Chains A and B, each alone.
Chain A
Amino acid sequence: MHGDTFLRLDHISMTFPGIKALDDVHLDIREGEVHALIGENGAGKSTLIKILSGVQQPDPGSQITIDGRQVQFQNANDSIQAGINAIYQDLSLFPNLTVAENITLGQFKNKKIDWKESDSIAAEALGRMGVRLDPHQLLGNLSVAKQQLIAIARAISFHSRLLIMDEPTASLSFSEVETLYSIIEKLKQENIAVLFISHKLDEVFQVSDRITVLRDGKFIGCEDTARLDNNSLVSMMVGRSVTYIALNAQSNVGEKILEVKNISKKGNYKDISFALHKGEILAFTGLVGAGRSETVKALFGLNTPESGEIWLDGKKVELRSVPQALRNKIAFIPEDRHAEGLVLNMSMRDNLTISVLRNILGRGGLIDNNKADELSERYVSILSIRPSQIEKPAKDFSGGNQQKIAIAKWLVTEPDILIIDEPTHGVDIAAKTEIHKLLKDLTKTGMAIIMVSSEWQEVFAVSDRVIVMRHGRIVHEENTVTGNQELMMKKAILGV
């Protein structure tokens, strides 16, 4: 669907003290089109979105043109008045308000709020989306997926011309993603444009009409989706073609170390059984919402099974708490390193040593700072963490180095089993390869690794064996190197 261009951003620059987050960026949106905005982390996508939604003011010289007229957004309100509504990754909704109010909040400025009208506006928006929900329930009681739908309903009830969606499918299950696609289709039919940010290339190809690529704050190009394929798109994003070296060509797999027998937990996972061997990299894959993280957390005392058994080194174990898992030499690196993996305000050294403090005590039971320094410096060099200042707070490191710190923190505990959830999420290409090599090197010492990953390329290049999960169950299991890759992907998506 190609309408006329109604929104243009030209010469958009955004300079923060010392850095140009955006440098002469261009973007144009046509009526009713689905336009994808792609780029690696740090490419400037979020900044561009903030400028479009009026939350951020661009540098002078930046031009925003709507219907041929130049406009300026002083604040979020101006942007909303111009018909631009953004749905952020964190949804930006109000759990303490009703569904109806979440949809209509802000529509009754400077006049008495008419609750009947609010209800009808909400009902209309939900109806247009084909969603059935009680508008009087509190938003906080709904699942994330339903909240996402409410966020969209809110945006469309504001008579948008452009809907910006930032990583909309991040927390959706397969069927919910399908619902989202059909809603986007409906929006197209109503001539509402959608600006769609995603790092999932398969979704981008499925849904978008055109793709704009940013890299390092610069505009790389804008193409019709039909004219691009995976490789060319990745080239634009990264500046070079990317293939991961098949590290799994060489196998370090040894004897069995872990056996999981029929563990289940209501609402999390059901009937999970698998084995793990020393020196093996076992990948858990599947779509978001398949239950992979929930399952592997069970091995770390975070999501204890209600039934079933876990056997470690031929002995049955209980993993009811994190300290118990630690004692059993299991380590877990969570997906969200900001909220769960690292204590950002603490120094790298303190983060690295936090789980092994009892091992570096000196006289009088006090923490021996020299031992702490030594330990930190050792792992800094093993993992090539840059910069190497151990006093620097963790939040001052780049995504890739933060991930290395998160990994190092657990390597310090010298685990037998390392579970890592999305090892290269939010990490640039160079660091990704480093981390893959690191994981492979660890297996040489006999460490067993469970890797949860949503990136098929990564799975196919690094893992020895793949377990596919869907809807909380294991649907497929196979050796990566000898197995049927297409079948694995199909099982994840379709389960057939």
Chain B
Amino acid sequence: MGKEKFRIRLTLNQMVLLGTLLIILLTGTLVSHNFLTLRNMLSIFQQMSEMGIMALGLTLCILTGGNDLSAGTTMGLCAVITGVCLTSGMPVGLAMVCSLAVAVICGCINALLISVMKVPPMIATLGTQMFFNGVALVISKGNSISNIPESFYFFGQGKVLGIPVQAIVLLVLTAALSIVLKRKVLGRYIIAIGNNIKAAAYAGIDTVKVLFAVYILCSLMCCFAGNIQVARVATARADMGGVFLMQCISAVVLGGTSINGGRGGVGGTVLGVFIFAMISNIMNLAGASSFWQQFATGSILVLVVVFNCITEMSQKRIRVFSSREARKLRSKK
């Protein structure tokens, strides 16, 4: 690797995130001595994986300055496709290929609307959200699909070396996307587009291709999440993933990715998902009704975002000072 400079520089946002994480870990240990056990942690990882994988995909979309509100229903659609394929006797591999293909189509539809026809991402994916959900409902006739063959269970219930399969998938995907964002050309293009799509186009970036890649990747992530959930609960339903969407977006923002794009990363997202998963776990351990969960996740999101905002405002004033003053000094020479 040569003389690679290894830099650790934490932004204020990342510090807040880690602080929140520590506070929650502390709370957890206070609530129950079972909290910090390996078994409990693995259970948390297992539960958070589906949401985490979807959140990874959403991070990419949000980084480009867009969004994918159809993520949840894409997951449901892919789940249904897998369910239908498996119960009609298709081998596991073929069923997964089918659902992956459907995911690619979903991503293409989104990308077509957003990058070619220039429909604002929010509204384009609002439409496709309903459409994909509709397709899933029609295919499944609004019913749950059970009788998922046991050969499929591995993806959601299996363990490798004691670690749940989906957690491994999440880790691998996180690492891969992190590398893409930091060290691959596509990643650099994503950041550039999120910051200034016009300048990116002027610099020779094929923005249409990049956005296609991003939305297809996001849909693929949703497909993985959907298949994992089907394997975990041995059922396929069109409404799978519906509840995840808002939580995922919250996790992405909590993790430090700017909702306007151009800034952030997958590491923070996973941390955000982890925080939300821990909250829910602590509540279970404390015997608190699961109804507290929604309140807690919403409150944490608002608190963190407001806090970030306040600190950003005071930071901006300092930055303005140093750059302007430096300029003045230079021009005086």
Contact = CB atoms under 8 A, between A and B. Distances in A.
Do the two chains belong together in a single complex?
yes
Given A354-B192, A357-B185, A342 B324 contact: no
A19, A339, A350, most chain B CB atoms within 10 A: A19
Interface in B276-333: 317-328, 330-332
A313 interface: no
A216 B331 contact: yes
A370 interface: yes
A273 B3 CA distance: 52
B203 A398 contact: no
Interface in A329-365: 332, 334, 339-346, 350, 354-355, 357-358, 361, 365
Contact of B199 (A17, A340, A357): A340
Given A322-B202, A345-B196, A346-B195, 9 more contacts: A18-B325, A322-B203, A322-B204, A339-B198, A355-B203, A366-B184, A370-B2, A398-B331, A409-B203
Nearest to B183: A366
Contacts of B331: 42, 216, 398, 428
B206 A344 contact: no
B156 interface: no
Contact of A19 (B196, B200, B324, B330): B324
Interface in A352-399: 354-355, 357-358, 361, 365-367, 369-370, 386-387, 395-396, 398
Interface string B177-188: 001000111001
B203 A354 contact: yes
A358 B185 contact: yes
A483 interface: no
Contacts of A369: 4-5, 183
Interface in A14-34: 16-19
A126 to B, nearest CB: 34
A323 interface: yes
Nearest to B199: A343
A326 interface: yes
A353 to B, nearest CB: 8
Interface string B6-45: 0000000000000000000000000000000000000000
| Interface residue range, chain B | 35 or more
A387 B323 CA distance: 11
A334 B201 CA distance: 12
A345 B262 contact: yes
Given A42-B327, A366-B183, A428-B331, A17 B202 contact: no
16 contacts: A18-B322, A19-B325, A42-B327, A321-B206, A322-B203, A339-B198, A341-B202, A343-B199, A346-B192, A350-B188, A354-B192, A357-B188, A358-B185, A367-B183, A367-B188, A395-B323
Contacts of A16: 320-321, 324
Sorted nearest first, the 5 A-B pairs with minimum C-beta distance are: A17-B321, A366-B183, A18-B321, A396-B323, A326-B204
Given A322-B202, A350-B188, A366-B183, A343 B195 contact: yes
Contacts of B191: 346, 350
Contacts of A325: 204
B321 A345 contact: no
A367 B184 contact: yes
Between A346, A355, A358, A365, the greatest number of chain B beta carbons within 10 A of the residue's beta carbon is seen for: A346
A166 B318 CA distance: 29
A396 B55 CA distance: 32
Contacts of B204: 322-323, 325-326, 355
Interface string A433-453: 000000000000000000000
Given A216-B331, A322-B204, A339-B198, A367 B185 contact: yes
The size class of the interface chain A forms with chain B is 35 or more
B194 to A, nearest CB: 9
A370 B188 contact: no
Contacts of B319: 396
A367 B203 CA distance: 17
A332 B322 CA distance: 31
Contacts of B184: 365-367
A365 B317 CA distance: 40
A395 B2 CA distance: 31
Given A340-B199, A343-B199, A19 B328 contact: yes
Contacts of B324: 16, 18-19
Nearest to B187: A367
A365 B5 CA distance: 19
A350 to B, nearest CB: 7
Nearest to B324: A19
Nearest to B318: A17
Q: Which of A42, A332, A343, A355 has the most CB of B within 10 A?
A: A343
Nearest to B2: A370
A323 B200 CA distance: 11
A207 B65 CA distance: 45
B321 to A, nearest CB: 4
Contacts of B179: 366
B10 to A, nearest CB: 15
Contacts of B4: 369-370
Contact of B202 (A340, A361, A395): A340
Contacts of B5: 369
Interface string A249-281: 000000000000000000000000000000000
A17 B188 contact: no
A343 B192 contact: yes
Interface in B156-208: 179, 183-185, 188, 191-192, 195-196, 198-206
Given A17-B317, A323-B204, A350-B188, A340 B198 contact: yes
Contacts of A346: 191-192, 195
B199 A341 contact: yes
A343 B327 contact: no
Interface in A287-324: 302, 321-323
A434 to B, nearest CB: 13
Nearest to B258: A345
Contacts of A409: 203
Which of A323, A334, A366, A409 is most buried by chain B, counting CB atoms within 10 A of its CB?
A366
A365 B203 CA distance: 21
Contacts of A342: 196, 199
A358 to B, nearest CB: 6
